Amino acid sequence: MLWTDTAVVIVVVFAAQMLRFGPQSFGEPVGRDHAPAGLVSLVVAVAWLSALRIRQCVDRRIVAAGPTEYSRIVSASFGVFGTIAIVDLLFKLEMARSFLAIALPAGTIGLLASHWLWRARLTRRRGRRLDLHRVIVIGGLASAQPLIEHLDRNPELGYDVIGLCVPPEQAGIVGPVAVNGRAVPIVGEFADAREAVSISGATTVAVTSAEALGHSAMRELSWDMEGMDVDMVVAPGVVDVAGPRMRVRPVAGLPLLHVDKPSYDGANRIFKATLDRVGATLLLLTGLPVLVACAIAIKLDSRGPIFYRAERIGINNTPFQMWKFRSMVVDAENLKTSLTALNEGAGALFKIREDPRVTRVGKFIRRYSLDELPQLFNVLDGTMSMVGPRPPLASEVERYDGPVVRRMLVRPGMTGLWQISGRSDLSWDESVRLDLTYVENWSIMSDAMILWRTFRAVVGRSGAY
């Protein structure tokens, strides 16, 4: 990835120079000080690559692990060009601004694309259980098993649990621990962790029972792992909270995990609402021919209105009318009771894979999610967002209890984590977990990633029926 980043930056910077000053411009004077164009390009390229290194854009802890990788690339790129622009303004260097205007967007897109390609390759290999970090988990069975199960179900996260160190009182358990159909061996007690890591060749140690291990033992274990060049991670026990909301802050010599409150209001909400409306307007303008074609096809295919409006529950349990293209027969709602036995939906959802109420055109527009395009009007009027939890029915909300109600703290979205993770194929519990994960950790960069992955999910027609 370092070599790829270097190649992208060098190619983009010198290509921008040739576009702006011509193919034979390496010695051409630029700016008030008449510096050679080739030298200016070299300085910009070195500064850009240095910013990427300073921001640790290829840190193995963030590569292929969420939006942080992309966020660092964008912040490093805009940071270095912002600095160049400020220096140019303060010292009146009069550098060619069009040169920078070409290099910045092209290079940033190139870097994001190259990281995406590497991520796709690494994810495919991890799906085959290749290139995984070998993990020893240290903790009691009650705290360790959920972590092991989660890592085993999701090899794309990059971790393969190869052993478990348990407290002394559990060391007498005979045989391995069964997790998702495979056996994870118990390789010793807490005190045997260093030896177990050395023998197994583990690259990561995950501690799930820090309180049972004790303060002194944790400190000594961290020293041991440092000497063995092994990463040490501690599971905080906070579920579905990640990213910028979590901070480790030393207080009187003790490392305390500080969990910030979710930012649903203020500047974040205004920024998100602005992007929603701008994005919806652009999509409506560019997709107008598709909207017209769908409307004509629906009208010609079956009797009834073009649009279907249904009440959904939005932010803070406020009802609103959600727009869709009609994909079913007119009396579909009245037929729902007679089809209860065929329901394949999870939890409070009602879904039938081969629903007899769906029209011929409806099958096509559902397959490619074209029936949801009118929801762009909901985004424009502020009742929905481009990205958010799935808009629920009132009957579903009435059955919510416990943490599920937190999904109503943000506007429902046209797409979300549920859309890119299986859609109708998800279980109810998994749908709820994904919605809560989004609500607890949403950011602009995560929204951008979800929108991109939505395009791929729609094209692939995964879970659409």
User: Where exactly are the structural domains of the chain?
Assistant: 2-127, 133-235, 267-460
The answer to whether 201 touches 230, Cβ cutoff 8 Å, is no
- Asked if 202 and 196 count as a contact pair (C-beta separation under 8 A), the reply is yes
Element (H, E) at 146: helix 141-153
Per-residue model confidence as pLDDT tens for the chain (465 residues)? 999 999 999 999 999 888 888 776 676 776 666 778 788 889 899 999 999 999 999 988 888 887 889 989 999 999 998 888 888 778 676 666 788 888 999 999 999 999 999 999 999 999 898 999 999 999 888 888 888 888 888 888 889 999 998 888 777 765 688 877 788 888 888 888 888 888 888 999 998 877 777 777 777 788 777 778 788 888 776 555 555 566 666 666 666 766 666 665 556 778 888 889 999 999 999 999 999 999 999 999 988 899 999 899 998 889 999 999 999 888 777 777 667 666 665 555 666 667 778 899 988 998 888 999 999 999 999 999 999 888 888 888 888 877 777 778 788 999 888 777 765 556 667 777 778 778 777 777 788 888 888 877 776 655 454
- What does pTM read for this prediction? 0.67
One-letter amino acid at 252 equals A
Fold of domain 133-235: Rossmann fold (3.40.50)
AA letter at 318: T
CA distance 397 to 387: 19
DSSP codes of every residue in 323-365: EEE--B-TTHHHHTGGGGGG----TT----TT-TTB-HHHHHH
